[in-house]
Amino acid sequence: EPEVTQTPSHQVTQMGQEVILRCVPISNHLYFYWYRQILGQKVEFLVSFYNNEISEKSEIFDDQFSVERPDGSNFTLKIRSTKLEDSAMYFCASSQQGAAGNTIYFGEGSWLTVV
């Protein structure tokens, strides 16, 4: 069964450093997402991406964050200057269509620890 894959599974970084989290969405999917889950809190939407541009973003997704689809398969989340509060599990996800009700498929997540 096709799946969303994410790398790295766990990354430890120093505060202020740049981090890039990578994802390979399901191949025939057109919509891509990043969510995050801070330990003990809800899974939160960060951003959705379609046709090479951001279609929606949350208040969390400030100027420190950016997303990119550098080639036909990868989808990345960059955090420019990490803060302690960026420590979380980051989930990449994808779907065939973007409308509400369509199934969103999630990857296994990337644990980011900022020290």
Partner 1 sequence: AQSVTQLGSHVSVSEGALVLLRCNYSSSVPPYLFWYVQYPNQGLQLLLKYTSAATLVKGINGFEAEFKKSETSFHLTKPSAHMSDAAEYFCAAASDGSGNTGKLIFGQGTTLQVKP
Residues near partner 1, by CB under 8 A: 3-4, 31, 33, 35, 41-45, 48, 55-56, 91, 93, 95, 97-109
CB of 85 to partner 1, least distance (A): 18
Closest CB to partner 1 among residues 87, 90: 90
Question: DSSP assignment of 17-81, as one string?
Answer: --EEEEEE--TT--EEEEEEE-TTS-EEEEEEEETTEEEEE-TT--TTEEEE--SSS-EEEEESS
CB of 77 to partner 1, least distance (A): 15
Closest CB to partner 1 among residues 19, 91: 91
CB of 98 to partner 1, least distance (A): 5
CB of 38 to partner 1, least distance (A): 11
Number of alpha carbons in the 13 Å side-chain half-sphere of residue 55: 14
H-helix or E-strand spanning residue 91: strand 88-95
Alpha-carbon span 74 to 57, nearest angstrom: 19
Closest CB to partner 1 among residues 33, 65: 33
